[in-house]
Amino acid sequence: MLVLGIESSAHTFGVGIVDRGKVLSNEKMMFNITDKGLIPGKVAQTHIKNAPMTVKRALESAKIKITDIEGVGYTRGPGLGPCLQVGELTAKMIAKRLGVKIAQVNHGAAHVEIARDAAKMRDPLALYVSGGNSQILKAVEKPFKHYEIIGETFDIGVGNMIDNFARGAKLNPAWGSTVAKMAQNGKYVRLPYTVKGMDFAFTGLLTSAIKMLGKESKEDVCYSIQETAFSMLCEATERALLLTRSKELCVCGGVAQSARLREMLAMVAKENGARFGFAANEFNADNGGMIAFLAERMLKSGMDSKIEQCGVEQRYRIDRARIA
């Protein structure tokens, strides 16, 4: 089934096309983040401008016409309201014009599902780490198939924490990848470490790391904030692996692009006799391909929505999203 998926939860407007579980194209246009961060209204305006071109590019690289599309999916949430609405309206317009079915997709569930498929796993424990989210997840069947949250951040997502630190440290560009580069020449200085069972918190770590910037070298603080945050995630994940007796572990979401986090998780998996895997980076960053991927399965299982029932939900929790 040829399905077009649209992602617009934050600064990326992405359009992907999938057929029988295979991603045929995955195009995106991005809002350029400045030092002021993301202003939802401004990002949404850019998405409106970029939407037609991104759809066109996705169709061209999949080598199909818009009239070939048999179903549409879009990100219902979580995300920034005005940005989500641009994806919702674009998807509704296409579905209505073509007279095809539409599916409302949970962004996090799409990240996990595309990673699970790429890693060829059946029922993994998943660590979902992005800007706004940090959760440990496991699929359960009842009362409907969904991802249960067995551990999560008490405050902010690990990605936003590292980006905030990068802005505080005046790194250019102020992203996690710059922190990772600086960390290569750093050594460890002590920072707060907060894990409670399978949950964790990052704001204490962020505040202390920013305070430490004048006293220790930038390289040392970059190394230490990254090692501390990733160790916290690994400790909670290891506990969840033991509890669920899972023999598969996957990582997904924007922060899953970090080579250091992958290296640490691979060690955790190995020590616990579990296989470790992840998707290609284009699917860990926000993208329309993963939305089309989950939408196709939803549509095939009769999980389409009426156009007038479609909407967006800024805090659409993954544990409320039916995945099959």
Say if CB 215 and CB 248 are below 8 A apart.
no
Residue 304 phi, psi dihedral angles, 5° rounding: -85, 165
The answer to the question of residue 88 lying near Fe ion (CB under 5 A) is no
Q: Which of 12, 85, 104, 130 binds Fe ion (CB under 5 A)?
A: 130
Shortest separation between residue 98's beta carbon and Fe ion, angstroms: 27
Under DSSP, is residue 225 helix (H, G, I), strand (E, B) or coil? helix
Q: What is the SS3 assignment for 195? A: strand
Residues 286-315 that bind Fe ion (CB under 5 A): 286
Single out the segment in contact with Fe ion by CB under 5 A; choices: 122-130, 217-225, 226-234, 294-302: 122-130
Q: How far apart are CB 107 and Fe ion at their closest, in Å?
A: 6
Closest by alpha carbon to 311, among 23, 77, 93, 108? 77
Residues 258-287 that bind Fe ion (CB under 5 A): 286
Question: Tokens 């895997």 belong to which residue?
Answer: 277
If the CB atoms of residues 82 and 157 are measured against Fe ion, the closer one turns out to be 157
Nearer to Fe ion, 12 or 90 (CB): 12
Answer whether the bond into residue 52 is a cis peptide, omega within 30°.
Answer: no
Tell me whether residue 100 or residue 318 sits nearer to Fe ion (CB atom). 318
Footprint on residues 221-250 left by Fe ion (CB under 5 A): none
Site for Fe ion (CB under 5 A): how many residues?
A: 2
- Cβ-closest position to Fe ion: 286
Q: Is the Cβ of residue 75 or residue 224 nearer to Fe ion in the bound state?
A: 75
Q: Which is nearer to Fe ion, 28 or 146 (CB)?
A: 28
Least distance from Fe ion to the Cβ atom of residue 282, Å = 12
Q: Which is nearer to Fe ion, 70 or 313 (CB)?
A: 313
Peptide bond into 124 cis (omega under 30): no
Q: Which is nearer to Fe ion, 171 or 279 (CB)?
A: 279
Helix axes 176-183, 158-168, angle to 10 degrees: 70
Query: Shortest gap between Cβ of 111 and Fe ion (angstroms)?
Result: 6
First to last CA, the chain: 16
134-140 vs 146-152, strand pairing mode: antiparallel
* Closest CB to Fe ion among residues 100, 233: 233
* Phi-psi group of 28: left, alpha or beta (phi > 0 → left; psi -120 to 50 → alpha; rest → beta): beta
- The contact pattern for Fe ion, residues 41-70, with x = CB under 5 A and - = no contact, is ------------------------------
Closest CA to 253 of 294, 281, 291: 281
Q: Phi/psi of residue 204, each to 5°?
A: -60, -45
Stretch that binds Fe ion, among 29-37, 130-138, 149-157, 274-282 (CB under 5 A): 130-138
**Residue 63 CA to its chain's centroid (Å):** 27
Token digits for 112?
């996990």
298 contacts: CB under 8 Å, gap ≥ 6: 73, 103, 105, 304, 322, 323, 324
Output the smallest distance, CB 287 to Fe ion, in A: 8
Closer residue to Fe ion (CB): 137 or 222: 137
Cα–Cα distance for residue pair 102/96, rounded to 1 Å: 9
Query: 216-234 burial by CB neighbour count: b if 16+ within 10 A, else e?
Result: eebebbbbbbbbbbbebbb
Residue 322 Cβ vs Fe ion, minimum distance, rounded to whole Å: 19
Shortest Å, Cβ 84 to Fe ion: 12
Segment near Fe ion (CB under 5 A), from 85-93, 128-136, 141-149, 154-162? 128-136
CB of 217 to Fe ion, least distance (A): 32
Interacting residues with Fe ion (CB under 5 A): 130, 286
